[in-house]
A and B are shown apart, each in its own frame.
Chain A
Amino acid sequence: MKLRRVTRRTLLRWVGGGAAVLGGLRAVPASAQAGDIKVGMLYPLSGSLALIGRDMRQAIDLAADIVNTPHPELAPLTLAAPAGLPKLGGRKMQLVWADAKDPATARAEAERLIDQEKVVALMGCYASAYTATASLAAETRGIPFLNAESSSPTLTQRGFKWFFRTGPTDETFTAMFFQMFGDLRKRGKRIQKLAILSENTEFGATAAKVEQAQAKAQGYQMAAVEMYTSPPATLEAELNRIHAASPDALIANSYLIDAVTTIKALKTMRYFPPALVAQDAGYVLPDYIKDTGKDGYYIMSRASWALGLGARKRLVGRVNDLYRSRYNEDMDETNARSFTGLLTLANAINLGGGTSPTQILQGLLMTDIPEADTIMPWKGIKFDKDGQNLYASGVMVQLLDGKYKVVWPFDLAETSIVWPAPAWDKRS
């Protein structure tokens, strides 16, 4: 219902624009007759991840809409200009949503989508643990599964044939931290001693493991590693120990409440590390800024996308404008990945030229999307033998004056990095 209404509105605006009206109108009825391509969407729509699930759903709906209706103004974005998939006679994507709210349900829903809804491919599930079980169902049934948001490296190390991931892994993200540290050292910053503060589920535990391994490999000293169970009653003990170790940078893998608790405790202790570098999660949500206010400034985070990229890449701004006009909020770094994921999947189905699993698999293996055709800061999208996007990478953002600004790589930076972060009493 919603989809149709928005489609009509988009079309109307299109008519107002006056260009290629006839071409656009002709394409719509033709594709509707060919039968839509059913694709399964497995996302947490209820439970504790429901909020972020809703954000991802919005971006994916928008992406499907962009594929299904002509959007020449968004060119060269993948499949924006034509209506539907050109190589399949303009057939459209139809999204079948299912609630993947825990690992067991994720798998059961994946099976239901494949067996009963007869979807030709699956996408999901955000949380790495859910993706792990849902993709098992796809693997055993020989159905392509595309993941855009989970960062656990193990997902693409399982030797699966049907599993593909467009987004970066914790290894890529963490490697980025160390590249940034290296660049900063060249500029004369002292970065030698590190500490990790990490929540202890799949997300934090995996990230912490990767961070420790890379720090060791690159000769950094790991002064403290503090794992806690989220949500923590207090983080004082952890932060006291980190304070005592006085690291040059603190790496944080934390969910929202943990992040807020961390900042409040640091302020109480009258201590702030020279840099607090986060694996996104809690530190990049709008609620983080709302809850910590100015105290939350100066943290840094990885991001595979940032609105600030629009300064250099106009496509980012245009897609975000469309998103904003529909949902009255900005895209964020998570659902930008979901958005790109759906376009990649649609592109692969188009490339393969059919909806059989092997055709889509062929399409995925043939995928080679250049940087310019995406809204991401990546070199492009091309899968390696494990199904991991070779070019997935990210940027570093810093929260300055209430906005996440791109500060690294330096050639993409909107503004210069603030390092070390000012002490509490030096903040205005």
Chain B
Amino acid sequence: MNLLLIAVVQGLVMGLVYALVSLGLGLIWGVVDVVNFAHAEYMMWAMYATYFAVAGLHLDLLAALPIVVALGFLAGLCTYIVLIRRIMGGPAVTQIFTTFGLLFFLRYSAFAAFGPDFRGITWPPASGSVLILGVPVSTAQADAALAALITFGLLHALLQWTKTGKALQATAQNPAAALALGIEVEWMYMLAWGLSIATAAVGGVFLLTFYQVSPTVGDAFLLLMFASVVLGGFGSVLGPLLGGVVIGLVESVAGNLVSPTFKLAFVFAALLLVLFLRPGGLLGQERRG
């Protein structure tokens, strides 16, 4: 079979998954103007929650999904209220260190609680594989990609067609003006954090069907997430979607056709290139604060 075709199909599927887990990172970055270095750790905790719901409480994955996503939303709210609110508008140093501290805390408390073991589940409906354009893709990955598309669709609809969504967008563009328009900016920030972690939780739930969880699982995803968001741009729904798919394609095509050993190197190099070559465009968004 044509290796390029395989690479493109698998890259697209994984890219959608990357896009799904990156979505929330871009949302907070755009709306709240905070870069959450701990985003992948929330995904990791969602994976653990799913694991215990499915393996411990014997729930079906689809029954666990709303519970885990609701928990994710609450976790996002709490994070904003307890921690992030205090560093809003503070220097970048403080923000970066706070979320890095959060990363340490979340990762190693999972380590303390669950140990270093890898845990996974099997979701019977997704145990086989399907053919996409003649390329076999695991049903679990295909389902995750589908979940990604649905999540993106729902969020896009929320942002475009509801009053709350418009308020959220206005807050992202100019918090001061939003405040002047009578938008409860504080509520919007809370909402953004809730939605952000909730989407990470959706990603975590479906990721667990084909990827085992351990406390350090975030390592493999953190930079991929950042690459997706920086590449696609933040503050919109389509940005991370585009970025995630591009990153998935870069990883897959470079991995299949050039060298799998360096596939992550290609991703990081792509991230650096974007950072270096497009700082004008990227900084244009940054000048807001």
Contacts and interface: CB of A to CB of B under 8 A. Distances in A.
B138 A238 contact: no
A48 B220 contact: no
B281 interface: no
Contact of B264 (A229, A260, A293): A229
Given A233-B221, A233-B224, A264-B210, A241 B260 contact: yes
Nearest to B256: A237
Interface in A272-331: 287, 291, 293
Nearest to A228: B260
B214 interface: yes
A391 B174 CA distance: 74
Interface stretch (B30-38, B61-69, B114-122): B114-122
B260 A47 contact: no
Interface stretch (B2-10, B73-81, B195-203, B233-241): B2-10
Given A228-B261, A240-B7, A268 B252 contact: no
A374 B210 CA distance: 42
Contacts of B115: 50-51
A268 B3 contact: no
Given A228-B261, A236-B10, A287 B118 contact: yes
A244 B3 contact: yes
Interface in B87-120: 115-118, 120
A227 interface: yes
Contacts of B212: 257, 260-261, 291
- Chain A interface residue bracket vs B: 20 to 34
Interface in B205-233: 210-212, 214, 216-217, 220-221, 224
Nearest to A282: B118
Contacts of A359: none
A260 B120 contact: yes
A50 B117 CA distance: 10
A86 interface: no
B162 interface: no
A269 interface: yes
A312 B151 CA distance: 59
B137 A268 contact: yes
A262 to B, nearest CB: 12
Contact of A270 (B129, B210, B261): B129
A267 B224 contact: no
A240 B256 contact: yes
A234 interface: yes
B263 A237 contact: yes
Contact of A48 (B10, B14, B116, B264): B116
Contacts of B165: none
A237 B7 contact: yes
A241 B252 CA distance: 11
Nearest to A46: B116
Interface in B254-289: 255-256, 260-261, 263-264
A112 B120 CA distance: 40
Contact of A226 (B216, B220, B260): B260
What are the 3 tightest A-B residue pairs by CB atom distance, in nearest-first order? A237-B255, A268-B138, A237-B260
Interface of A: 47-48, 50-51, 200, 226-229, 231-234, 236-238, 240-241, 244, 256-257, 260-261, 264-265, 267-270, 287, 291, 293
Interface of B: 3, 6-7, 10, 14, 115-118, 120, 122, 129, 136-138, 141, 210-212, 214, 216-217, 220-221, 224, 251-252, 255-256, 260-261, 263-264
